[in-house]
Structures are given as C-alpha cells and as structure tokens.
Structure 1
Amino acid sequence: MDRPDLPLNALRVFEVAMRQGSFTKAATELRVTQAAVSHQIARLEDLLGTALFLRTSQGLVPTDEGRLLFPVLEHGFDAMAHVLDRLGGRRDVEVLKVGVNTTFALGWLVPRLASFRAAHPEIDLRISSNNNRVEILREGLDMAIRFGTGGWTGHDTIPLMEAPLSPLCAPEMASRLESPADLGRTVLLRSYRSAEWPGWFAVTGTPCPPVAGPVFDSSVALAELAASGAGAALLPVAMFEGHIRQGRLTQPFDATVSAGKYYLGWPSDRPAKGAMTTFAQWLSEQLPDLA
C-alpha cells in the first residue's frame, strides 16, 4: 500500500500543537486561527488513518501514535532550520534553548555566561527562567536545569551540584539570634516544600516551632524578603553568596540540610544535538562536583 503524501504545513501544525499542548496556543504561535489549526490536524489524521489527539474535558491528550510521531518531526524541523540557517549565512550557529531555575540562573549561571559565549560562539544560547516548574517539550526547550531529587520521568538527567539549605536573614536580625531556638521568635518564610524547616531544625536537634510565614515558589523572592528584614528564609547558601558578600544577608548558623541537587535534564527520546552535548560538557568543566 502506497504511503499518502503528507503536507508539510499540516506536519508543522501538529508539531507546534503537540509542543504547546493546545490548539489555541498553537494558533497564537503560528499566527493563524484555532479553526485553521484544527482543520490541519484533522486533515493529517485523515491521511494517516489514525487519531493523533484525544479531545477531553481536561484538554488535548496525545495518543500513542501522536507521541511516536512528535520527536521525529521535532528533530526533523530542527535539522531543517539548522541547514536553512547555514544556507542563509549563519553557518556556524546552533540555537540551544535551556530552561533554568531562576535561583540557579541568577546565583550561578548568569555570572558565567560571558565565559560560555567566549568559549562557544557557535552556540546561540537562549535562557528561559522558571520557578522550578518546566515542561521541556511544551515550552519548546532543548534542556532544563531544575532543583529536586532527580526522578524526572521520561528524561535523562545528570546531577550538577549540591545546594544545602541554611537560614539566611538580614544582619540586624542575625544579631539577635544566639541559638536555633531563637528563630521561633521570628517569621519563618517558607517555600512550597513544607518539609524543609522541620528538616533543618531536626539537624540542629531543636524542636521545630510553628511555621506560619507566607509561602513562596521562588527562592529569589524569599531572599529579597529576608534581606528586607521580613523574616528568615531557608535558602541554598551557594546561590546567594553575592548577597552575603554585599552584607544584605547573613548566615547565622552553620547547620545545613540537604533537600536535593540541581540537575540538567532532557527528554530521553530526543536525539541529542551537538549544542546539548557541548553545554553539558561545559557545565562539567565549570562544576567539579558534576557526577
């Protein structure tokens, strides 16, 4: 049986819709109407003789056939764009899109980007910051760096560095803290990971006081609040050494607790392009603890 000729435009619409997880968002990226996206997908499904998406009350859910087709198309369109760039004069440039936890981006990566650009002018590195929640495929990224314990389903990961947590606060507040128990008289600013403060107090052998401070999903926001004197925040000290050097934050106690590591990850079923390998190698050279 002859394979039907598949229109390139419909394949491109499917790739974008799959990555965005929404016909509406795909239409916005492609600058067409949602109806046009739906029509192209229906046309492609008709030609293939199989459904690529299930339309549910929760939104689009890709079928097994859709999941099988997507990485092949994504890699193919990336390869086409690379060749077209070369034909257009950008012969040595490869775009690499990396999602980065904001704390890691500001506390470690950004100060070193000039070094990366100098060493690898052939790579157009594009950083998208996030608060540790990222979907690589849907956001059109190649890789991502985030904090956690490493169990990233469907992805290959490599650990980058430990980031033990310790209380940080404004110097004036630190002057009133003689023991961990004294933190019970301050506001304990919290991240969405509720076990962190109890874990740190357990390390010090001190009962954990009631933790009722505001909850934030950004360590950068917690650091700014702590520096303003609003309370003490449990933060990855290595990411805020600049604040400590500037006298904005102080670490009143040496005790630390581990809540995870920073990891570099990418989809397991995606062929690794050269820029991905180069970026991972550069990180390994910059981070001696890379394992």
Structure 2
Amino acid sequence: MDWSALPSLSALRAFEAAARHGSLSAAARELNVSHAAIAQHVRQLEKVLVEPLLHRSGRGVATTEAGRGLAQDLSQGFAIIAKGVATLQRRKETQPLNVSVTPSFAANWLMPRIGSFWQTHPDVKLNINPSIALVDLQRDNFDMSIRFGDGDWKGLDCQLLTHGEFWVVAAPGLLQDRAVSGLLDVAMLPWIMETHMLEWRPVVEDAGLELDRVDVTVLETNELVLSATLAGLGVSVHPKSLVERDVGNGTLIRICRLPVKDLGYYLITLPGPKSSRQKAFMKWVLSAARS
C-alpha cells in the first residue's frame, strides 16, 4: 500500500465522524478535538480530493454525492480495523501472563504466596519464567518482570515491591551455641556469596568485616548460596525478602541487618495502558509485598 497517496488519516476520521453524525460539533466531541479542528480537517480533505464533501444542512451538515460514497467506504474500513483490533485484544486477554523473575525471588518469595493469587484470579493463567538473564519486555514478549536494583531503568515503569535491606544469616547447626550479635562474631566461620553479590562487598565491609580476611566460597547463583547456607555450609548475605520466611520458621538465624538505601525488588512494566490481567497481578503482588 502506498500510504503517501492517501490523505491524512486524521482528516479521514474527522470527515467520517462528521458525515455519520451530520454534525461537526458531534464529531468533535467523539474525537475529543475542537469544532474548528474538524472543520479544518474536512477543508483539507476536500482540497486534496478536489471535491466538495459536506454542505450545510439546517443546523448541521450533510454529505454531497461524492462525500456520501466516501463516508460509506470509510465507515466500512474503520469497522474492519476496529474488528481486527478487538480480536487481537480478546486474544491477548486469554493468553497466559508472562512474568520474568529471578530464581531466588521466585522460589523464596513469589511461590510461597502465589496460591492466594490463583484462588482469587483462577481465570488468569501465569507463565513464571525464573532467570537471572536480563530480558527485553517488548522483544521477549514479557508482560512484566521483577528485578533487584535501584529502580532507575530508563523507559520503564518501576514500582518498589520490597525495600533493600540485607540480612546476614546462617543455619543453627553452623552457629551451634555460639552467641552472635554482629558480623565480627562470625568472622572465623566460612562464608558463601553469589558472584553478583560481590558487588555489595562494600556493604559488608562498611559494617565492619574485611572479606579479604574471611574464608569465602563464591557460587554462581543465589539459589545455590541459599541451599548451601540452609545445609549449614557457611554464613551468607541475602535481601531480607528472600530469607525472612526461613528466619521466621527457624531454619536460618539472622545475625544482623545491613540496610542499603534505594535498593530493592521492583515490579517492572512497559509504559502505557495495562491489560486487565496485568492490572490484576500488579494489584495482587503490590498488596502481597506490603502485607
């Protein structure tokens, strides 16, 4: 299709609405523009087509013979476009909601809570993709993602789920009956850290522990670090939201807190209107994070 040969789509919409309503004012209200804008569009269209399309009729307007034929064709064409858009929107509403999350967040925060979402929204199907890889929401066809960081991701809508407080934890078996109240009390024990967590090394060292003097084993993922910690193989540091359940049930002991400003887990979406499925999940996950 040679779009350059077509008049302005805005002008075509304005004329079709005016012809259908028999009124420039009614067309302006429908398209949320001014009466003058509709009149200007119609004049431009008549100039391009070198044909009169509308004429005054009482307190409104009526189509000329040429205008009547064009209005009918435009109405049919816009109806086909509207049908195609509606079909795609209905299809989108029935497809699973694709959510990208980190494996640790999925296993330790999302999955223990997701049952309440399924109960309240049984019609919304979820595809939960646990991966540490960065995703492009538009290119990779994800409806949203949950990632750890400072929330400063350009061109995306970011809403804070959990604040960035780190907890230093260990299994009761590793600590045995040792009295602990801070990092220095566990400096002689083995430590386990994730490769990416080494970026937060200054957080630990600012709290008084020099990691160069500590026996540290580095593992590739936080899932491995947490599993090793639960097995009593070392002390580790995690975002609070990932270990508070284990601390609460006694499988881990919190040694101390390490607050980190402006860091946390964020719910990330593309800007613009959200589907009803997106709105339902966003409302639920934000409520679950604040409860």
Is the structural similarity TM-score above 0.5? yes
Match status 1:2 vs 2:9: no
Shift of 1:79: 6.3
Counterpart of 1:166?
A: 167
Q: CA RMSD in A?
A: 3.0
CA distance in 2, matches of 1:216, 1:138: 30
Counterparts of 1:206-245 in structure 2 under 5 Å?
206-210=208-212, 213-245=216-248
**Mind listing any 5+ residue stretches in structure 2 that lack a counterpart?**
5-82
Counterparts of 1:120-269 in structure 2 under 5 Å?
120-131=121-132, 133-174=134-175, 175-176=177-178, 178=180, 179-191=182-194, 192-203=196-207, 206-210=208-212, 213-251=216-254, 253-258=255-260, 260-268=263-271
Question: Amino acid of the residue matched to residue 265 of structure 1?
Answer: I
Identity across the alignment (%): 24
Shift of 1:226: 1.1
Normalized per residue, the structure richer in helix is 2
- For the Cα contact (< 8 Å) 2:203–2:258, is it kept in 1? no
Shift of 1:228: 1.8
CA distance in 2, matches of 1:126, 1:110: 12
Question: Amino acid of the residue matched to residue 276 of structure 2?
Answer: G
TM-score by length of 2: 0.61
- For the Cα contact (< 8 Å) 1:200–1:257, is it kept in 2? no
1:216-258 CA-partner distances (Å, limit 9, x unpaired)? 353222111112222111012332233334543221x233232
CA distance in 2, matches of 1:79, 1:113: 30
**Mind listing any 5+ residue stretches in structure 1 that lack a counterpart?**
5-75, 86-91
| Structure with larger Rg | 2
CA distance in 2, matches of 1:177, 1:271: 53
- For the Cα contact (< 8 Å) 2:174–2:233, is it kept in 1? no
- For the Cα contact (< 8 Å) 1:94–1:275, is it kept in 2? no
1:11-53 CA-partner distances (Å, limit 9, x unpaired)? xxxxxxxxxxxxxxxxxxxxxxxxxxxxxxxxxxxxxxxxxxx
CA distance in 2, matches of 1:287, 1:243: 17
- For the Cα contact (< 8 Å) 2:164–2:265, is it kept in 1? yes
Question: Amino acid of the residue matched to residue 263 of structure 1?
Answer: Y
Q: Tell me how many residue pairs correspond in the alignment.
A: 208
TM-score by length of 1: 0.61
- For the Cα contact (< 8 Å) 1:163–1:262, is it kept in 2? yes
Counterpart of 2:276?
A: 274
